[in-house]
C-alpha cells in the first residue's frame, strides 16, 4: 500500500469519525435543547401556578377584609343607633316628673332594701317627697322583713335619681345610673332584635 493510499484512508476514516461525532453532538444538543425547553416550560408552569394561587389568596384576603370592614361598619352603625336609643331613654328617665321619680324610689326601696333598718340616700330634689312617704315605706318594709322598720333619709348632690341604701348588712346601689345600666344590659339584645329584625 502506498503512502498516499494510507494517508487517504486515515483521512477518510478521520472524516467519517468526525461526521459521526458531529452527528452525535448535534443529536445530544437537540436532546439538551428539548430537555431545557421542557424544564423551562415546567418551571414557567410552576411559577404561573404559584402566581395564580398567590393572586387567588390575595383576592380572598381582599374579599374577606372588605366583607369584614363592611360588617364592622354595619355593626358600628347599629351600636351608634342603640347607644342613641338608650341615651334618649336615659334622658327621658332623668327628666321624669316628681310623681314618677317618687314612684320609682318607692319601688326600688321596697324591692331592693337590704334590711329593715337603713339609711336611704336620694337626690336633693327628691328628698322632701321621699321623706313624705317615710311612714308608708316603713310599713311596707316591716311587712317584708317581719319586724319594725326604721328609715333615715339623706340627700346627695351626686345622685341624679333613684336611691342608694346603706345598712349594717350591706349597701345597695339602686341609683338611676345603676338601674339604667342593669336595664340596658338586660334589654340590649332585645332592643337590637327589634331595631334590626332583618340583619
Please indicate whether residue 117 or residue 80 has the higher confidence score (pLDDT): 117
Please state, for a pLDDT cut of 90, what percent of the chain lies above it. Answer: 33
Contact 194, 140 (CB under 8 A): no
Question: For residue range 149-195, what is the model confidence (pLDDT) as tens digits?
Answer: 999 999 998 898 899 999 998 999 999 888 888 888 887 777 777 76
Across 82-97, b (16+ Cβ under 10 Å) vs e yields beebbeeebeebeeee
**Measured CA angle at 80 (ends 78, 81), to 5 deg:** 65
pLDDT above 70 for 79: yes
Task: Please state, rounded to an integer, the average pLDDT across all residues of the chain.
Answer: 83
Contact 110, 140 (CB under 8 A): yes
Q: Look at residue 199 in the predicted model and tell me its pLDDT.
A: 52
The model carries a pTM of 0.58
Q: Look at residue 153 in the predicted model and tell me its pLDDT.
A: 96
Amino acid at each position: 500500500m502506498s503512502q498516499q493510499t494510507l494517508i487517504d484512508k486515515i483521512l477518510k476514516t478521520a472524516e467519517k469519525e468526525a461526521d459521526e461525532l458531529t452527528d452525535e453532538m448535534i443529536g445530544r444538543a437537540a436532546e439538551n435543547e428539548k430537555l431545557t425547553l421542557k424544564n423551562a416550560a415546567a418551571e414557567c408552569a410552576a411559577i404561573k401556578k404559584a402566581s395564580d394561587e398567590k393572586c387567588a389568596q390575595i383576592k380572598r384576603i381582599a374579599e374577606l377584609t372588605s366583607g369584614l370592614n363592611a360588617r364592622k361598619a354595619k355593626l358600628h352603625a347599629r351600636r351608634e343607633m342603640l347607644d342613641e336609643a338608650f341615651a334618649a331613654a336615659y334622658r327621658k328617665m332623668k327628666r321624669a316628673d316628681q310623681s314618677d321619680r317618687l314612684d320609682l324610689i318607692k319601688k326600688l326601696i321596697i324591692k331592693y332594701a337590704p334590711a329593715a333598718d337603713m339609711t336611704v340616700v336620694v337626690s336633693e330634689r327628691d328628698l322632701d317627697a321621699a321623706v313624705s312617704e317615710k311612714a308608708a315605706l316603713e310599713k311596707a318594709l316591716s311587712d317584708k322583713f317581719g319586724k319594725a322598720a326604721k328609715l333615715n333619709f339623706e340627700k346627695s348632690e351626686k345622685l341624679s335619681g333613684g336611691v342608694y341604701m346603706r345598712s349594717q348588712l350591706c349597701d345597695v346601689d339602686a341609683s338611676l345610673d345603676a338601674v339604667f345600666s342593669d336595664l340596658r344590659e338586660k334589654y340590649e339584645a332585645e332592643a337590637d332584635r327589634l331595631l334590626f329584625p332583618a340583619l
